[in-house]
Amino acid sequence: MAEKMRAMVKAKAAPGLEIQRVDIPSIGPRDVLVKVRAASICGTDLHIWNWDAWSQSRIKPPVITGHEFGGEVVKVGEQVTTVVPGDFVSAECHIVCGTCYQCRTGQSHICQNVSIIGVDRDGCFAEYLAFPAENAWLNPPDMPVEWASIQDPFGNAVHTTLSTDLTAKTVLVTGCGVIGLLAISIARAAGAAAIYATEVKPFRIEKARQAGATAVFNPQEVDVVWEIMEATQGQGVDVLLEMSGHPQAIKQGFALLKNGGYAALLGIPGRPIEFDLANDIVFKGATVQGISGRRMYQTWYQSRALLNSGAVQVDPLITHHFLFEEENFKKGIELMAAGECGKVVLYLDEAEMEAAKRKRRERPAGRSFA
């Protein structure tokens, strides 16, 4: 009989999540079993908690949620040669088919048959999770576990931000949630000439400034198009990194894009929006790039390099450290809904959490935050 573990389960087709005792997953010949040390909450988890339209169409309860984590390999399938028990790993949460056109041509991040950990299959808000060894990403042993945990959203930011070369360029980041804030840090590390940002929530505006934004504008208070045109001597920006999915922010972003500019779109509008293709793309000769997931595994190598070299400092964006308990998870969800947090990390072990908090206070501040 399978051993049991605690896991945060979307048990039925309704709002909320609950901790249940479930079987520890078994593994196939090419899988790994990982003991979770820390897991962080993503905006996707908020959608699933809320049981919104997207969740209703995608999630098939019961399913264990969560896809951002760092943990220890405790068991590997018989054909696994790339990791061994004891390894400290995170996971690329896109399990891909390996056989479609995209997978066979180096574009598996847009696989036609993707299955996502914590969405389409059991995830990491649990003591253990199982996934294909191919998706395991080996972390440096001394990497803080909460850094390991947030590599998935960090990777979204890296994929978006480094999808073009922005050294010596002017950049606009629309939307300063965690990924937007990370994009600001990364753009600064990449030598952007100036980084403008738009955001409405005071907590995030303040974080955006700390992260290295040249100036942050609140569209509820000022005319951001006028302000940023002024700041760029009427030229507009070279690069737009769209992180909000908000129709108004998208409109402003494209209005500010220079002729010949580049826009990377990561934010997801909830529905089709009115869009001025003629003026915003055609006449401008603009280039627009849709961004999905993380490039496998180019983005992970880039992320490791940026974190290891200290070029990007993520501590200030990890704002809450909680034990893995139902009430703490709920608290995290509430903070996120209010826009009053950076990343919320859940630790499976109290001693590990306290050690993480202590080490963090002792780390030097790094280059990218004031």
Active site residue 44: yes
Residue 370 as a binder of its own copies (CB under 8 A): the answer is no
Segment contacting its own copies (CB under 8 A): 116-124, 199-207, 268-276, 338-346?
268-276
* 26 versus 259: smaller Cβ distance to its own copies: 259
With CB under 8 A as the contact rule, the residue among 16, 77, 245, 316 that binds its own copies is: 245
Instruction: Show contacts with its own copies in window 177-216 (CB under 8 A).
Output: 186, 189-191, 193-194
* 61 versus 106: smaller Cβ distance to its own copies: 106
Residue 106 as a binder of its own copies (CB under 8 A): the answer is yes
Amino acid residing at 286: A
Measured between alpha carbons, how far is 253 from 224 in angstroms, rounded to an integer?
A: 9
Cβ contact 204:177 at 8 Å: yes
Measured between alpha carbons, how far is 317 from 212 in angstroms, rounded to an integer?
A: 12
Measured between alpha carbons, how far is 106 from 296 in angstroms, rounded to an integer?
A: 8
The number of C-alpha atoms within 13 Å of 173 and in the hemisphere containing its C-beta is: 35
Segment contacting its own copies (CB under 8 A): 64-72, 294-302, 338-346, 347-355?
294-302
The values of phi and psi at residue 146, to 5°, are: -75, -30
Within a 10 A sphere around the Cβ of 173, how many other Cβ atoms?
Answer: 34
With CB under 8 A as the contact rule, the residue among 53, 273, 337, 338 that binds its own copies is: 273
Residue 15 as a binder of its own copies (CB under 8 A): the answer is no
Q: Is 163 left (phi over 0), alpha (psi -120 to 50) or beta?
A: alpha
Cβ contact 160:244 at 8 Å: no
With CB under 8 A as the contact rule, the residue among 110, 116, 200, 229 that binds its own copies is: 110
Residue 298 as a binder of its own copies (CB under 8 A): the answer is yes
Residue 301 as a binder of its own copies (CB under 8 A): the answer is yes
Measured between alpha carbons, how far is 268 from 157 in angstroms, rounded to an integer?
A: 14
With CB under 8 A as the contact rule, the residue among 26, 53, 308, 363 that binds its own copies is: 308
Segment contacting its own copies (CB under 8 A): 116-124, 142-150, 291-299, 353-361?
291-299
Residues contacting its own copies: total by CB under 8 A: 72
Active site residue 99: no
* 207 versus 304: smaller Cβ distance to its own copies: 304
Instruction: Show contacts with its own copies in window 27-66 (CB under 8 A).
Output: 29
Residue 105 as a binder of its own copies (CB under 8 A): the answer is yes
Instruction: Show contacts with its own copies in window 327-356 (CB under 8 A).
Output: none
- Report the Cα–Cα distance between both ends of the chain, in Å, rounded: 54
Catalogue the long-range contacts made by 225-229 (C-beta closer than 8 Å, 24 or more residues apart).
Answer: 225/252, 225/255, 225/256, 228/172, 228/196, 228/256, 229/256
* 15 versus 106: smaller Cβ distance to its own copies: 106
Structure tokens at 201: 């929530």
* 14 versus 278: smaller Cβ distance to its own copies: 278
Partners of residue 340 on adjacent β-strands: none
Cβ contact 240:253 at 8 Å: yes
Cβ contact 95:101 at 8 Å: no
Within a 10 A sphere around the Cβ of 87, how many other Cβ atoms?
Answer: 18
Residue 169 as a binder of its own copies (CB under 8 A): the answer is yes
Q: Is 245 left (phi over 0), alpha (psi -120 to 50) or beta?
A: left
CB of 169 to its own copies, least distance (A): 7
Residue 84 as a binder of its own copies (CB under 8 A): the answer is no
CB of 16 to its own copies, least distance (A): 26
Residue 311 as a binder of its own copies (CB under 8 A): the answer is yes
With CB under 8 A as the contact rule, the residue among 52, 165, 327, 350 that binds its own copies is: 165
Residue 276 as a binder of its own copies (CB under 8 A): the answer is yes
Active site residues: 44, 47
